[in-house]
Amino acid sequence: MAATKTIRAIGHRIVDAVWRIGSATRFFILALLYSGMGFKRFRLIIKEIFSSGVMSLIIILVAGLFVGMVLGLQGYETLKRYGSESALGSLVALSLVRELGPVLAALLFASRAGSAMTAEIGLMKATEQISAMEMMAVNPIARIVAPRFWAGVISMPLLAAMFSAVGVFGGYLVGVVQIGVDEGSFWAQMQAAVDFREDILNGVLKSFVFGTVVTVIALFEGYDAQPTAEGVSGATTRTVVNSSLAILMLDFVLTAIMFRGN
Amino acid sequence: MSPSALVEIRDLNFTYDKRPVLQGINMTFPKGRMVAIMGLSGCGKTTLLRHIGGALKPSRGSVKIDGQMMQDLDSAGLYAMRRKMGMLFQFGALFTDMTVYDNVAFQMREHTDLPEELIHDLVMMKLHAVGLRGAHKMMPSELSGGMARRVALARTVALDPTLIMYDEPFAGLDAISLSVIGDLIRRLNDALGATSIIVTHDIQESLKIVDYVYFMANGVIVAEGTPDELRACDTDFVRQFVHGEMDGPVPFHYPSGDYRQELNSQG
Amino acid sequence: MERTTLDLWVGMFVVAGLAALVALAMKVGNLGTYNVSESYQVYGYFQNIGGLKVKASIKSAGVLVGRVTSITLDTQRYEAKVVMSLDKRYQFPQDTFANILTSGLLGEQYIGLMPGGDEEMLKDGGQVKQTQSAVVLEEMIGKFLYNKAAEPEKVIVPEK
């Protein structure tokens, strides 16, 4: 009896998850459809870029610097064993540009900006601001959701690029300034290994995808939240958990598509 | 019954999750009048209001506003209809990320192409009407409950609606704010020549200001009439409600077993 | 539309993001060094390319002069045909020697070009005739073991 109950519970959760994915997709399409007005009032997007992008700047820069420094240190220790410390530059840059930049920036973005978006919209729903807007004949998807969506999509690649750039600088600080790897070979190896189209643009593309997914999840969870305090806090947690999982899973898929055969 | 009815509700039924919320509601809201819908919490008042606003579709029956069936409207028609409506939400529902000024200006900016100077004058007029012209730079979080409600009222009437709905306008207000809001609602309605529907459970305040009252309980209308008729009415339910008696058709005790028996069984 | 400090912040944010991208492209990536200059193509046949990959660098005297653009197996000769794209600024004699080398013990493999003394220069679409295959570690070890086995065993005669 207990076994059937468990199986039923699992099945229930799976059906529920598929259901939610469907609703989220429909929500995403609606947000795209109603984006026309958002572009007409570009000011709204600017405002949201401020609250999601600019407000995430500090955490992204600090995290990027330290990740780069750790990469410099660890990479040096490992490469030293094979006598190829000169490859440090390419190791730091490739790891950042291809993987860590887009992925870590997206994870940070999800927990900093994504959760804030969910909480904000959930609260708007709980205090009937969304119903009020609807009663004023203003479409809340166009007025609230679409600007935030585009702000997230625009901010994310910029944040990831800054993360990578600062990270490379962190690697340079530790590798060249502190440990004393030859500066020329550090940059030369890096430039020889990193291809603009293959590595950098693919990294930008990744962060673009992550930005879209994180923002859609955050907005959907907020819009779908139970209009109570518990509902909003639960939705905020779900945003961080679901978007982190989505980022890591998508990263695998994207990496497999982009970098296979190299 | 009246040819000048703005809103007519005929045999409205609504079922949610197989539970009947509204059953056979018939109401008429004549133009220029203020009508209150009263009842206990959870009796379907807010659901009824959502039907009038077109946010819910009836399971059976119809809501007709200004000669148009709400359930037949497509979303463009619904939005066009809503531009003629204003709704004051229970706790004001001010947009928390905007100043008082921007809250009141919101609909003017969304729905009109008025120049900013004109919007400024209109906003100031609306805020002046609720006595809060001086607070236009404040954020909603800085306002007291009564002030927030007045700002919300100014926002509700921003585009001079012909139909104004109030969802519990008196909830959570102190005695002074309460009579200020009540007075404002009446004055605004008369100044705008609008029709008002007030959903509330605050009997004393609303009996003072409205023209007609519907009493609801468990999804049906149990009594209706002018305030004077209701004060004189001696139906058990209305008497309990109007005079706030503790026990009556609405029992004080949740259904339970025999009191004496329960006490003894523990000892 | 009046300008606000908010616009300034967002503007700075966007500029910083784009600057980071440009910095990545120019300083970290190869956009600044190699892709912008014009190139010409030459090819060569190698018996074994080992771990050489497309986009591997081509160096002469340690200077990056080009990249491998394609590697295919020529079924006429059963040798690897490697197409190299070289920077126009660097011209090489026709008898240039192409060598697959490894950076470090286990590093990436690249092609080293050793110029000969010919007067004629390599043209676009020309062939590098003299090539040397990659050193494949397994083969080297195999050879070493084989040589060892072939050596007459030193018999240690125990002293009595």
> So where are chain A's domains?
2-259
C106 and A53: CB-CB below 8 Å?
no
Shortest CA gap A90–chain C (Å): 9
Q: Which long-range contacts (CB under 8 A, 24 or more apart) does B49-53 make?
A: B49/B87, B49/B165, B49/B167, B49/B197, B49/B199, B51/B9, B51/B12, B51/B14, B51/B22, B52/B7, B52/B9, B52/B163, B52/B165, B52/B197, B53/A135, B53/B82, B53/B85, B53/B87, B53/B165
Q: What predicted TM-score, i.e. pTM, was given to this entire model?
A: 0.77
> pLDDT at position B2, please?
46
Range of the domain at C21: 8-37
Contact residues of B toward A, CB < 8 A:
53, 55, 78-80, 82-83, 85-87, 89-91, 93-97, 106-107, 110-111
> pLDDT at position A120, please?
92
Structural contact between residues B133 and B177, judged by C-beta atoms closer than 8 angstroms = no
> pLDDT at position A160, please?
94
A198 and C55: CB-CB below 8 Å?
yes
Q: Would you say residue C137 has pLDDT above 80?
A: no
B55 and A124: CB-CB below 8 Å?
no
Say if residue C50 is in the same domain as residue C105.
yes
Is residue C107 domain-resident? yes
C107 and A46: CB-CB below 8 Å?
no
| pLDDT tens, residue by residue, B193-222 | 888 898 887 777 888 888 888 888 877 888
Say if residue C52 is in the same domain as residue C31.
no
Say if residue C66 is in the same domain as residue C134.
yes
Bridge partners of residue B164, in order along the sequence: B86, B196
Residues C137, C143, C147: CA angle, nearest 5 degrees: 150
A244 touches chain C (CB under 8 A): no
Q: Hey, is A234 helix, strand or coil?
A: helix
> pLDDT at position A74, please?
92
Shortest CA gap A61–chain C (Å): 11
pLDDT 10s per residue in chain A (262 long)?
678 889 989 988 888 888 888 888 888 888 888 887 656 678 888 888 998 889 899 999 999 999 999 999 999 998 888 777 778 888 899 899 989 999 999 999 999 999 999 999 999 998 889 988 888 888 888 888 999 999 999 999 999 999 999 999 999 999 989 888 888 788 877 887 888 878 888 999 999 999 999 999 999 999 989 888 899 999 999 999 999 999 999 999 998 888 765 4
A3 touches chain B (CB under 8 A): no
In angstroms, rounded to a whole number, what is the distance separating the alpha carbons of residues B201 and B169?
10
Say if residue C17 is in the same domain as residue C71.
no
A127 and B110: CB-CB below 8 Å?
no
Say if residue C24 is in the same domain as residue C82.
no
Say if residue C12 is in the same domain as residue C77.
no
Q: For the CA atoms of A51, A54, A59, A62, what is the dihedral angle to 10 degrees?
A: -170
Bridge partners of residue B25, in order along the sequence: B12
Q: Would you say residue B254 has pLDDT above 80?
A: no
In angstroms, rounded to a whole number, what is the distance separating the alpha carbons of residues A117 and A109?
11
Which of B95, B102, B116, B162 would you mutate first to test chain A, the one with the most A CBs within 10 A? Answer: B95
| Chains contacting chain C through 3 or more C-beta pairs under 8 A | A
Say if residue C22 is in the same domain as residue C86.
no
In angstroms, rounded to a whole number, what is the distance separating the alpha carbons of residues B235 and C125?
105
> pLDDT at position B72, please?
83
Say if residue C90 is in the same domain as residue C108.
yes
C-alpha distances out from residue C66 to A24, B79, C53, C88, C127, Å: 48, 63, 13, 9, 15
Structural contact between residues A165 and C23, judged by C-beta atoms closer than 8 angstroms = yes
**Whole-number average pLDDT of chain B:** 82
C30 and A196: CB-CB below 8 Å?
yes
Nearest CA in chain B to A51: B97
B85, two tokens: 């409506």
A49 and C14: CB-CB below 8 Å?
yes
Q: Would you say residue C156 has pLDDT above 70?
A: no
Containing A14, the helix (H) or strand (E) segment is: helix A2-33
| pLDDT tens, residue by residue, C36-94 | 467 888 999 988 888 787 778 888 888 888 888 888 998 888 888 999 888 888 888 88
> pLDDT at position C1, please?
46
Q: What is the count of structural domains for chain C?
A: 2
**Residue scoring higher pLDDT (C23 or A60):** A60
For the ranges A37-46, C25-34, C76-85, C144-153, the maximum mean pLDDT occurs at C76-85
Residues of chain B with pLDDT > 70, as a percent, come to 91
Structural contact between residues C42 and C125, judged by C-beta atoms closer than 8 angstroms = yes
> pLDDT at position A38, please?
58
Nearest CA in chain B to A135: B82
Say if residue C55 is in the same domain as residue C23.
no
Q: Would you say residue C4 has pLDDT above 50?
A: yes
Shortest CA gap A99–chain C (Å): 14
Q: Would you say residue C33 has pLDDT above 60?
A: no
- The domain segmentation of chain B, as residue ranges, is 5-101+160-233
Is residue C19 domain-resident? yes
Say if residue C64 is in the same domain as residue C125.
yes
Average pLDDT over residues B31-48: 82
Say if residue C27 is in the same domain as residue C106.
no
Structural contact between residues B50 and B253, judged by C-beta atoms closer than 8 angstroms = no
The sign of the CA dihedral A82, A87, A93, A94 is negative
**Residue scoring higher pLDDT (A225 or B40):** A225
Is CATH 3.50.50.60 the classification given to domain B5-101+160-233? Answer: no
**Residue scoring higher pLDDT (C128 or C139):** C128
Is residue C158 domain-resident? no
Which of C6, C10, C26, C59 would you mutate first to test chain A, the one with the most A CBs within 10 A? Answer: C10
**Alpha-carbon radius of gyration of chain C:** 25
Structural contact between residues B171 and B90, judged by C-beta atoms closer than 8 angstroms = yes
Containing B133, the helix (H) or strand (E) segment is: none
